[in-house]
Every structure is written in C-alpha cells, then in structure tokens.
Structure 1
Amino acid sequence: MNDEPISICIKYGFDDTRIRETILALDIHPAYADLADRINREVIGDEAEELVNVCFAVLARLREFSLIEPNLDVSVFKQVWADQLRRFGQGFHTPAYFAERLTLSAARVHDGLSMSVLHLQHQITQQILVERLITSFQNDPKTVWALMPCILKFIALDLHLTIEAYHLQEIEGQQKKLAACRAESAKLYQKVATDQLTGVMSFSHVMEALENHINKAAQTGTTLCVMMIDLDFFKRVNDIHGHLVGDSVLIHTAERIKSAVRDFDMVGRFGGEEFTVILTNADMALARVIAERIRQDVAETPFHAKGHIIEVTISLGVAMLRPGETREAILERADVSLYEAKQTGRNRVVAAEDLEQAASARER
C-alpha cells in the first residue's frame, strides 16, 4: 500500500477506524464491491466521457457555475469527472479511494467551486446514473433494485467526502488568513514596541513593560530596579557635528547600554537622549554594579565619526521598587537621582536610596 493515500487520509482526519465507521454509517456492505464492478461494466461501461458531457451540460446551466466556468480548465475538469466515474465505487473501503475523493474535492475548492455547485454535481451524477440504470435494465427490475441502492450509497459516500474536504479546506484557508493576520499584527506590534532610531524598546512599550513587572513583583515579592540614563552634553554634539552624527551617537550609546546589561534586562528610549533600563530580580547592590558597568562601558568607548573622536559619557539615576509603589513614583525617584548625578559633575551613578538617606540625616 502506497503511504501517500494514508497520509492524505490522516491529514483530513480519516484513519482506518474512521473509514470503517463511515462505511458502516452509510450501510455499505462488502458485497457492494461486486455490485460496483457490475455498475462499472454494465451501466457506465466505455461511456464515462459521454455521461460526463450530459452531466456537464446540466451543470453549466446553473448561473453560479457559469460565473466560475471562465476561470476553469473545462477539459481538465471534465476529464477528472470522467476518471472518477470510471472508478465509481472501486475499492470504496480503502484509504486510496478516500484519498482520491478528498484530494479531488479539495482541488475543486481551490478552483473556486462553491458547496452548492459541488452538491449539485453529485446530484446530477446520481440522476444520470439512475436513468442509465433504468434504461439499461428496463426489462430486468430485479437488477435495477439490486444496483440502485449501490449507486445511491456510493454517491452519498462521495458527497460526504466532498463536504468534509470542503469544510477542512475552508478551515485551512481561514487558518492561513489568521496566521497572516497574526504575522502582520506581530510586525506592527514590533514596530510600535521598538524605537525606530536606536532599536531598543519604545517609550510606550517601556511603560507597559514596567507596569507589568511592577504587578508581577507585587505578586511574587521579587525585587525590581529602574535606571534613568541621560547623555552628558548631547546638545553640544548636535551643535558641533550635526543631527545625523547625533543620531549615530544615540544608536552607539544604546548598543553600549544593551551590551552591558543582562540578557533579560529591558532597555528602552525614554525620549530625546534619555534611556531607561528595567532590572528584574535585582536589588540595589546589583543595580549599582550594572549601572557602573554601563557608565564605564560608554565612557571607555568613544564614538568615531568623520575623522573625529567624540567622547561620550552618561549620567545615571537608580531606584529600587518599594512595596506598593506605582510606576510613576519609581520613575520619579530614578529621575531625581539622575538630576542629582548631572548636577554633581555628570558621568556618575546616583542611587535614590543614597539621596533619601542623606535627606533623612539632614532632617534629624
């Protein structure tokens, strides 16, 4: 047995068990195999193409089919129909028979034939075969009554497989459309979530991520730190070298920041020359180490442009999440620390906790 019919049947959900169940449900007995041979010899015979021409003439009068017909290769369509008639009921219990019917029906769906057209095609085939049977055995009613149920049940089997293939093709088509929509949505989301200049997270995505991680930290009791980072004297870079070089300096700085943090830390552009970093599962001690590493990496890696060496430094403010603290509150504390770093000489790290302890000592 060729593996291909089996794989096609499995694709459409017809394993050996379902094939047997389908045949039993339609009450098609093993003895029908001999009756199918007789129908092929004595009813269809060598006139499959003539029968199809008669059937096609009826089908072509259907307005819905006439709209599809110009896009069909009619000769191929009729030839496939004739070949199907020549194998009418032959091996009805085998995966090969089921696979052929399922494949042909799927191909007709791709051709644009609707379910109503396919249904009518089977009805017309049934009608022509029954008329042919009665004409061929008009003086032998016993044979007519023996073969008639066979024709009706094989048509019912073929129609059942057509409906199954049709709906599965519809589902597959919808799944492909859904996958395409998801892919497009992912692209759009990535575009929105990414700062188009530097490639780090956008402001909106940073804010969304921070809110989510604050909620998670509240539920799990894990630590969380936030950094606010600002380039020192960036306006001077733009004034001396121009905005294109300034943009390159921003890209360069974003890359240095990303290279200095952990793989799962989140780096985003807060706006202008300002960046933020979200450090999950990090206490203040670890945040200080990472912040100092970022500062040092940027300071020790000047930017080269147009034959010039541009020294770049950054100031950093760091804050650790307090119990019950909001997103806005921790950002405000990190930003105050950043302001202090810039006011006290730049190119340095200032922690919110240090400022708060100093303020508390002064009050005492």
Structure 2
Amino acid sequence: MIPVLDLCKRFGFDRRRQQARLGALGIDASLRPLCLRLRREVVGPHKEAVAQAFLRWLGAQEDAQRYLGDAQHDVLYRGLVGYLDRLGDVDADAAFEERLRVGLSHWMLDVPVSLFVCGHQTLQQLLLERVFATCSAAEAPAFASLVLRLMALDLTLVADTYRLAQVHHLVRSLKSQMDETHKFKLKATLDPLTGLPNRARVMELAEEALLDARSRRLSLCLVMLDIDHFKQVNDSYGHPAGDDVLTAVAGVMREALRGDDVIGRYGGEEFLIVLRAPRPDEFWSVAERVRLLVAAKPVVTHGHRVPVTVSQGLAVAEPQEALAALIGRADAALYEAKRQGRNRVLVAPPSR
C-alpha cells in the first residue's frame, strides 16, 4: 500500500501547487459550508443510489466489461460510496492523494482515458440530477456550480496522474530492464543450489585473482576441496540430504573465508577456493580452519545427523604459472589427501 502523501510528493503536488489548482477552479475556504451541505443534505442520503446507477451505466459499456469482474464490481461500489461521502473535502492533502490514487489505479489497470472521461461525465450528470431533484430552485444553481467545480478538479487531477504515471513508468521500465539484465547475468553465473559462483564464473574469478596477485606482488594459492564419502551420503540418506550437505558446506566456507577470498562450486561435490595474502604461510591455516569448521558441524537433514568431513589439496602459484597448471597441482594434492585417509589438507609440492 502506498503511504499517504507519497503520490503528492512523487508527482509534485505540494501545498502551493494544490492551492493553485483550487484557485484556478474558484474553490476556496468560502465554499466550505456549501461543500458540507452538499455532502450531508444532497449527496449523502442518496450515495448508494448514485453509486448503483453509475455501476449500471458502466456495466452497459462494452469497453468496461474486461474490468468488471464480481470482485472488482464490489471494490468500485465501495470506492464510489466512500468518494461521495467525502465529496467536497478538498482542503486536506489526503483528498488530493485520493484522487491521484484513483488516476494511478485506472492507469495501472490500463483503463483507456476516454472510458474514464465518459464515466466521469456520467457521474457528474447523476450528481447534477440529484442536485436539481433535491434542492430548491433558489439553491440549485449554487450546488450545481459547486458540483461542476469539484468534478473538474477530480478530472484534472486524474488526467495529470495518467500523464505523470506514464513518465514515471518509462523511467521505472528502463531501471527494471537494467535490473532484470543484471539478475539474468547474475543467475547465469551462480550455482542454483549453493548460491556460489558456478564453475565458469569461479574460473573467471580465479584468472582475475591471479592477475591481481601478480600485479600487487601478493602470494596466491588455489585450494581444491572435496566432500568426503559424498556418494555414501546420497546412497544412505537420499539426494535431498546430499543437497543439504552441499548447501551446509558452502555456508561453512562462507563463514570461514575472508572477504576477498574467492569461492565457487567446481562441480559435483568439489569446490574451488582462491586465496591471496602477503605471505604463503597463511594459506594452510585458512584451509585448515575450513576443514575444522566443517567437521565440527554435522548436517541435520530429514531427521538424520550426518557427519561431514572434507579433503583439500592446496597449491601455491608459482611465477608465470598458468591457471590450468595450478589447478592440476591442487587436484593432484587433493587426490593424495583422499588416498592418505581423507579429512585433511595436503599442500602440493612445487612443479618440476
């Protein structure tokens, strides 16, 4: 729900502009007593009949059929009765807000402005008929003139809303298109299960990190991480449990790693981590922290408490070493860590 005064502010209807619009139509404080009598004596006692007559007319319009389901009919009826209850109350900011809302809601429903204008004229005619049926010959002209002014105010506000809403819509559409493009690109680079960068994206990030480390004279290492006995988890507890384990391990890695560390899902139960630091002796402790945190947090899934451990192969980048070669050394270290019993971090030897 749009907060009160939000549309007034958004469309520039501050108090000065409101008063200017009222003044242009000859609506001022001197008309307050007449407005009050219009609501209480002329329109108020017959508001339901006027609303029903208007909806009968609207129901007969072919152009209006697409907007008039049963639920919408009830909404329109209640809205009309409420509007007639407040007819002539134009001193408050809320009155302008209400008319701008009416215009915006019609615009959002794609109601043609021509249909709105015809409906507006019909409602005006119904109100004038009520004036001449209720008021004396001496008072009817004053009440009729007031109705025409009030209806003109409403029509101009709604027309302004159609125009301004279109401008705002174009601006929002451009922003939305840019946001959707960003979301699409982001979705194409993320693993849908863990929310981590997917293999293609983490490889791009690893290349960027390698170039960055060399330009800043930092040490860089690449860690290949594999969840131990993951096939047994799937076989014993089912694939949904396996998904929970993957998600949990990804969460632990997010918690354990530093802000500028790179992490992504490499494939299956394997993850790729890229670390940078001034000295390479920091890398093992980071990988070991990940291993300990994973082991300390069994995954509770589908009524089972599943212990989880990980094996990691760590390779420190050598000068001018290509990313593919670095991954190869880390993968070989991972294989050796699993061969030696799993649940450990093994550092790859330098390349020959």
- TM-score interval, smaller chain: 0.5 to 0.7
Distance 2:7 2:131 in 1: 36
Q: Could you tell me which of 307, 316, 333 is aligned with 2:313? A: 316
Alignment partner, residue 279 of structure 1: 275
Q: Would the aligned equivalents of 1:225 and 1:283 in 2 still touch at CA under 8 Å?
A: no
Distance 1:56 1:284 in 2: 78
Q: Could you tell me which of 8, 16, 23 is aligned with 2:19? A: 23
Pair 1:94–1:343, CA change in 2 (3 A): closer
Alignment partner, residue 206 of structure 1: 202
CA-CA distance at 1:349 after TM superposition: 3.2
Distance 1:80 1:245 in 2: 60
Q: Would the aligned equivalents of 1:317 and 1:334 in 2 still touch at CA under 8 Å?
A: no
| 1:212-243 superposed Cα distances (whole Å, 9 cap, x missing partner) | 544655776655421235689x7xx97xx797
Alignment of 1:159-308 (within 5 A): 159-162=155-158, 189=187, 192-193=190-191, 202-214=198-210, 217=213, 223-229=219-225, 244=235, 251=245, 258=253, 261-264=256-259, 265-271=261-267, 274-281=270-277, 283-291=279-287
| 1:258-277 superposed Cα distances (whole Å, 9 cap, x missing partner) | 39953444444434565421
Q: SS state of the match for residue 279, structure 1? A: strand
Alignment partner, residue 120 of structure 2: 122
Alignment partner, residue 97 of structure 1: 95
Which segment drifts farther, 14-23 or 261-270? 14-23
Pair 1:22–1:338, CA change in 2 (3 A): same
Aligned length: 321
Alignment-mate amino acid for residue 71 of structure 1: D
Q: Would the aligned equivalents of 2:225 and 2:334 in 1 still touch at CA under 8 Å?
A: no
| 1:48-94 superposed Cα distances (whole Å, 9 cap, x missing partner) | 444445444433321122343342475774464245335421x3111
Alignment partner, residue 68 of structure 2: 69
Alignment-mate amino acid for residue 258 of structure 1: M
Alignment of 1:140-159 (within 5 A): 144=141, 150-159=146-155
Pair 1:154–1:208, CA change in 2 (3 A): farther
Distance 1:158 1:258 in 2: 60
Q: Would the aligned equivalents of 2:263 and 2:274 in 1 still touch at CA under 8 Å?
A: yes
Distance 1:65 1:55 in 2: 12
Q: SS state of the match for residue 66, structure 1? A: helix
Alignment-mate amino acid for residue 355 of structure 1: P
Q: SS state of the match for residue 8, structure 1? A: coil
Q: Give the aligned CA root-mean-square deviation in angstroms.
A: 5.7
Distance 1:131 1:296 in 2: 83
Pair 1:215–1:259, CA change in 2 (3 A): closer
Alignment-mate amino acid for residue 284 of structure 1: P
Question: Which runs of 5 or more structure 1 residues have no equivalent in the other structure?
Answer: 303-309, 360-364
Q: Would the aligned equivalents of 1:338 and 1:350 in 2 still touch at CA under 8 Å?
A: no
Q: If you compute each CA radius of gyration, which structure gives the higher value, 1 or 2?
A: 1
Q: Would the aligned equivalents of 1:194 and 1:205 in 2 still touch at CA under 8 Å?
A: no
Q: Would the aligned equivalents of 1:195 and 1:202 in 2 still touch at CA under 8 Å?
A: no
Alignment-mate amino acid for residue 66 of structure 1: Q
CA-CA distance at 1:296 after TM superposition: 8.2
Q: Would the aligned equivalents of 2:313 and 2:333 in 1 still touch at CA under 8 Å?
A: no
Question: Do residues 335 (structure 1) and 328 (structure 2) align?
Answer: yes
Q: How many percent of aligned residue pairs carry the same amino acid? A: 21
Distance 2:41 2:276 in 1: 80
CA-CA distance at 1:335 after TM superposition: 1.7
Distance 1:95 1:80 in 2: 18
Q: SS state of the match for residue 355, structure 1? A: coil
The alignment's TM-score, normalised by the length of structure 1, stands at 0.59
Distance 1:340 1:78 in 2: 74
CA-CA distance at 1:100 after TM superposition: 4.8
Alignment-mate amino acid for residue 316 of structure 2: A
Alignment partner, residue 87 of structure 2: 88
Question: Do residues 32 (structure 1) and 55 (structure 2) align?
Answer: no
Pair 1:331–1:164, CA change in 2 (3 A): farther
Pair 1:317–1:153, CA change in 2 (3 A): same
Pair 1:99–1:285, CA change in 2 (3 A): same
Alignment-mate amino acid for residue 244 of structure 1: D
